[in-house]
Amino acid sequence: MSRRLLIIAIAEAVVVLIGVYGYATAFAPGASLGATGVQTITLTGAGATLSYPLLSAAAENYSSSHPGVAINYQPLGSIAGISQLTAKTVDFCVTYPPMTTAQRDAVAPNIPLHIPEAVSEVVVAYNVPGLTKLNLTGSVVADIYLGKVRYWNDPEITSLNPGQNFLNRTINTWHMSEAEGTTFVFTSYLSIVSPEFNQTIGYGTSVSWPTEYTDPTGHSFQITSDSVLTDAGVAGQMKLTDYSIGYMELSYALLAPLPYASLMNAAGNWVTPNLASALAAEGKLPQDLPPSDGDWQGINILNSLDPNAYPLVTFTYFIIYQNLSTLPTMDLAKARTLVGFAWYLIHDGQSLGAALGYDPLPAKVVQIDEVGLKSVVFQGQSLI
Amino acid sequence: MANQKRETLQDWRRFKDWLAYGLGALCVIIAVIPLASILIEVIGNGIATINLQFLTTVPTIVIGSGSGGGIGPAIQGTFILLGIAIVLAVPLGLMSGIYLAEFGDNQYGRSIRFLNDVFTEFPSIVIGILIYSLIVVATGSFSPIAGGTALAVIMLPIVTRTTEESIKLVPNSIRDAATALGIRRWRATISIVLSTAKSGVATGILLSIARITGETAPLVLTILGSQFFYYAWNQPIDALPLRIFRDASLPYAYARQQAWGAALILIAIVLGLNITIRLATRGKYDASRART
């Protein structure tokens, strides 16, 4: 009796294994390549949702022109990406903000290379039925998140938008619950333009958002505020929430689609996030940018003084180790592919960004990236 | 007079009976509503997505490009993970269960039983973190091995417990009969006790498989997720619960559609397992009850 059971069990196991094997060989990317003798190389990366649309498009394009290469990028959030790179479980990470001194110390003696890979714009998106155009200043956005402005027909909003009809509806704010580069960009900007925001909330990849506002006379007001994971989550939830406002990378607002506000820049002009306004912000880059293996913490192009610049513009960084031998799963072919993909990303890959709402890297940043990528080694061997 | 009194008493009893019956039925309806609503919602939203291409192709890599592609890698990944978990957990769980039921009536057995019960209720995310630090960090990559091990760890205490319970249901008279015939104890345990309890043991194993099929939390930390089919033992793979989790958080209509489709497939797998268990063991349960 038990022998029969054993035979059945073995037969079942065999069937399952054959099934899995057949399934794998029939559809795996390597299956069709096996015949042509091309080895499958896979790169694994994790990090910012900010750059996910661009990276996924670049990965798809690079794989189609390089048979046998599969690039797996998972948008876990900037901080999670850095943690995974530190634990050496991924080949690269993508992040905004740049690594902090503590994060660099954690990977020492390895040197993380910061390769600025895209210029992104963070937008203030809204979902208000009937409203297709909205002007906001940074300090009004700060007041909305602080809870000082809680209704769409608040004078602070209506005075910026003459001729538009606002209803007395509660503003539902959305923010990200996970440590995200987008939150860092957004809160950094609001901290620059609003001293009160800086004092009460401050800036960081995750901050503690207030749930109520207490006015000077001591009255408390509830703030209608919700949180969800990642840019994509905020965009998704805002589509379902009328009278909401939230922040996200431009490409998510374009893909959702959600309308987004024009902001008043540091020079006092109304600007919408687009190629021209991002290029204007890039024009105000400091002259002495650090090299790729240097510290990029001080570099930001937020709240640029250029009269045409959009204020919420940022670099995102593709980070790899300078000495790739440190990764346990690395080999020479994989290391070459990794650097090749990064090279593609900062050159040809930039053209993919236009349709997705990213802006091209300034020439001098591309030069820094090139020097950085040329310094990458695997077992003492240069890769480009 | 007395007759009338008896009649009212009977009416009262009948009313109480009816009331209890009604309340019972109401409870059943309340319990079934969430299940039915989930099934209707998932089938209604997911059925339109299901076709051969959806089940066998890879998802689109470029997000927001309109069509989402298929969930082939997720289905494949789920089966690979289940396979690894079964291979790791079932033999070990079976042996532990036999030990606890047949030989575990001592201090050592009691402490194992206690720890096993604690383990059953362990948060699966903690098991994910454990496997992450033991396997993912050590090998330097997210892998099906790590994911399968995490699921096996969740599965192990359930298999152990159900094996022990169903072996304990085997009447002592059968053991005595085996001993009386001069069969050695180990031989009697395997050929007679285990064989008698096998439907219960099989049920336990299938239930534990159904339980781990939908686990998401430990997978986030062990397989990472992927848009590609399995290609190496040390590379990330995809799984249905993870794909649903990631898709559902994307703002695009195609991603939500894909998530509904994946949810339908996942529910079909779990429901299929449960129905198989019911059909396979119904008769046997009745028979075993009649025997004792």
Question: pLDDT for B265-276, tens place per residue?
Answer: 999 998 888 888
The first and second tokens of residue B44, run together, are 């209604």
A97 in contact with B at a CB cutoff of 8 Å? no
pLDDT of residue B291: 45
Nearest chain B residue (CA) to A42 = B235
User: Given a cut of 90, is residue A30 above it in pLDDT?
Assistant: no
- Per the model's pLDDT, the better-predicted residue between A13 and B290 turns out to be A13
Nearest partner of A265 among A313, A302, A303, A314, judged by Cα:
A303
Give the whole-angstrom CA distance, residue B207 versus residue B213.
Answer: 10
User: Given a cut of 90, is residue A12 above it in pLDDT?
Assistant: no
- β-strand partners of A377: A323, A382
Residues of B in contact with A59 (CB under 8 A): 61
Nearest partner of B73 among B213, B206, B214, B242, judged by Cα:
B242
Structural domains of chain B in order of their starting residue, each with its CATH number = 75-291 (1.10.3720.10)
Asked if A221 and A326 touch (Cβ cutoff 8 Å), the reply is no
Least confident of A107-116, A213-222, B26-35: A213-222
pTM: 0.81
Q: What is the mean pLDDT of chain B?
A: 88
In this prediction, residues B171-185 reach a mean pLDDT of 91
pLDDT of residue A96: 84
Condensed to tens digits (0 to 9), the pLDDT of residues A50-105 reads 888 889 889 988 988 998 898 999 888 888 899 999 999 999 999 988 999 999 99
Nearest to B228 among A57, A70, A88 (CB): A70
Asked if A123 and A314 touch (Cβ cutoff 8 Å), the reply is no
Asked if B152 and B85 touch (Cβ cutoff 8 Å), the reply is yes
Q: Are A16 and B79 a contacting pair at CB < 8 A?
A: yes
B216 in contact with A at a CB cutoff of 8 Å? no
Asked if A213 and A150 touch (Cβ cutoff 8 Å), the reply is yes
User: Given a cut of 80, is residue A370 above it in pLDDT?
Assistant: yes
Give the whole-angstrom CA distance, residue A264 versus residue B42.
Answer: 46
- Per the model's pLDDT, the better-predicted residue between B168 and A33 turns out to be B168
Q: Could you report the predicted ipTM of this complex, rounded to two decimals?
A: 0.75
A23 in contact with B at a CB cutoff of 8 Å? yes
User: Given a cut of 80, is residue B81 above it in pLDDT?
Assistant: yes
CA of B206 vs chain A CAs: smallest distance (Å)? 13
In this prediction, residues B110-131 reach a mean pLDDT of 92
CA of A37 vs chain B CAs: smallest distance (Å)? 15
Beta carbons within 10 angstroms of residue B52's beta carbon: 8
Give the whole-angstrom CA distance, residue B245 versus residue B220.
Answer: 10
Condensed to tens digits (0 to 9), the pLDDT of residues B136-152 reads 999 989 999 999 999 99
pLDDT of residue A27: 52
Cβ contacts from A onto B, under 8 A: 121
Q: Which amino acid is at B216?
A: T
Give the whole-angstrom CA distance, residue A362 versus residue A131.
Answer: 35
Residues of B in contact with A259 (CB under 8 A): none
- pLDDT band at A31; cut points 50, 70, 90: very low
Contacts of B79 (CB under 8 A, 6+ apart): A16, A19, A20, A23
CA of B287 vs chain A CAs: smallest distance (Å)? 17
CA distances (Å), B287 to each of A207, B175, B198, B250, in order?
62, 18, 13, 51
